[in-house]
Amino acid sequence: MDKTTRILAIRHGETAWNVDTRIQGHLDIPLNDTGRWQAQRLARALAARDTIHAVYSSDLQRAHETANAIATATGAPLATHTGLRERGFGIFEGKTYVEIEQTWPEESEHWRQRTPHWAPAGGESLLQVRERVTHALRELAARHPGQQIVLVAHGGVMDQLYRAATGQDLQAPRTWQLGNTAVNRLLWTPEGLSLVGWADTSHLEDNSLDEIST
């Protein structure tokens, strides 16, 4: 029996706070118009080229709205999982990068240096996020041996999945993209996670995926 689960890991569509470089964390921010357009383009592309057996989403609406577009287009069942939430940023949530640096310079340094055990007040450390995300991944992937699933989540979750698949340390500088609605392809077996492809945004360039209005 094939124990491999193929995974399409996808960051949600754009929000107004993404544009403003404002930290969202667990705050429930909706997609903006661009994000909704991205989600529809993505959904049509996946429906045209992939067999999807299940869609799992963070319960935050920016991810869930993106996932719902995929589920509607592909006919795959959709379920939410809190393990796919963005990192909790506590007191940083709602603030821009500049505001964080000005208000909490010491804490901001820990954030920039990716200190593994450090957490903003009321938030999560990178170690906690890694444990939460990898646990959710194992739980969901193990349900679908021999199948392909979609996980719709957040930039911080995508970062953790890339590191897990490539063996990158938590403090290694990020050299990979985390674009809105980028498709990231992974393979999971009980032995671990591996990377197939990363940051595919070809659906955003394909004009044939625009909805035809009559």
Catalytic residues: 12, 86
Could you give the CA distance from residue 7 to residue 186 in angstroms, rounded to a whole number? Answer: 5
Of 36, 87, 25, 43, the residue nearest 65 (C-alpha): 36
Length of the chain: 214
- Cα→Cα distances 153→58, 64, 156, 212, Å: 5, 8, 8, 28
The dihedral sign for the CA sequence 93, 95, 96, 100: negative
Q: Where are the beta strands (DSSP E) in the chain?
A: 5-11, 54-57, 78-80, 148-153, 183-189, 192-200
